[in-house]
A and B are shown apart, each in its own frame.
Chain A
């Protein structure tokens, strides 16, 4: 099979990329989705809080996805659902397997990677204790409860205070479970403050910061967990143990971009994001292959996923219509010591539009602070923030004209207390 543009993944990123590419004039677009329907993880995120930036109103996950799926109906975009992409070559051939048609090869003029991310599991963080039933990742529990209609337990401890852990604490409470505690290893929560208020405080669920689960008891089913305080080096402090009698432990301990396909194709990944290195137009290190959404960087707000995906969609259209971008002057963007990553990693000056968005995360919490863009000793721009936290992706706009004057080819993004 052939397609001008093949998009791997039909979540919010894949959908927005398809619509943008279609608007830019590409007609032969194929979305490959391994699930039976598009929408990605949004289908199980039934809470509201999506779309405030993009649609200017507060929607639930399924509503946000539904609006994009509706937009597809008026286009010539084809969706192959129940279709898993197994392999991707640098020549943009995708090997797929589909329940109805079996094995297929798809030769694509351009490819957009939109595979999203997956959850870290117990193995990835190695908690001691028994291998009893009743230990779930928060996302798996979200799917069981919200889509399949199974309750996961009655007395629950949640490890990890990221947004998914917080949202699931509220969800299980509403469904009649008792959530005994939300336990966070770090001295701060990586979730949005509004979620701490409306998911924990509203229901009187205690949040234990600088604590972790140090033991799991139970033979067949979980019977209890031990929670201990940790020191500055995140080591459990003996004598601080608290015992919780629970039948369920939810793990919300982080997301990892899903990049097996990117690796197979030989795309360069950035160890800081675990996603592909991208240029200013979301193109990866292999020409004609683009990436957007959680496969590139783990987003907290789907609105920004849609925005990033539209850029990838437009860029893929431009590649199909006009070919590769000229190499020319190449600028690299890196972060200072308190910045965990910056995106895009590379900027092709000649191809750069008038302004581009840079996104990054800080490593620790900041109060009144400044974001500084520097080239050598020269300060290009600085931006004020009243508050920054590792759980919240930050974005700034870089105008091209600032780069006209600088001679070096390296930009550093730093953050400092004001």
Chain B
């Protein structure tokens, strides 16, 4: 039995996950906690947010994120690739900046118009 905190929403429910019983979850206030509890112990994922360089815009950095959560183990590989990216203004919120970045299975998307 493992006790972890659900980070899906600000409620921060304390979850008990039973590895011995097929990762059965208790302590969750909503179904998202159940999925999180199981995933966190089998394949932990996070949405990565960061910035890349942008040319021709009012600011030098463009905020970006992975369009869905990626395995925690992939985070440093994705961060390493961001340094090489140079976006060009104009960019719209939601534009794909890089596809399947670092083989993470997620696209990198712009978070604002710039």
Q: List A residues at the B interface (Cβ < 8 Å).
A: 36-37, 43, 46-49, 52, 58, 60, 62-63, 65-66, 145-149, 174-175, 192-194, 196-198, 202, 300-301, 392
Contact = CB atoms under 8 A, between A and B. Distances in A.
Contact of A63 (B53, B58, B112): B112
A121 B7 CA distance: 30
B63 A66 contact: no
* B10, B53, B58 pick with most chain A CB within 10 angstroms: B10
B59 A148 contact: yes
Given A148-B59, A148-B60, A60 B5 contact: no
A196 B8 CA distance: 13
Interface string B64-103: 0100000010010001000000000000010000000000
A49 B61 contact: no
Interface string B42-62: 000011111101000011110
Interface of B: 4-10, 12, 46-51, 53, 58-61, 63, 65, 72, 75, 79, 93, 111-113
A146 B112 contact: no
- Which of B7, B49, B113 has the most CB atoms of chain A within a 10 A radius of its CB? B49
B72 A202 contact: yes
A53 to B, nearest CB: 9
A60 B50 CA distance: 10
B7 A146 contact: no
B51 A52 contact: no
A52 B9 contact: yes
B7 A198 contact: yes
A202 B69 CA distance: 15
Contact of A193 (B5, B47, B58, B72): B5
Contacts of B53: 149
Contacts of B48: 174
A46 B63 contact: yes
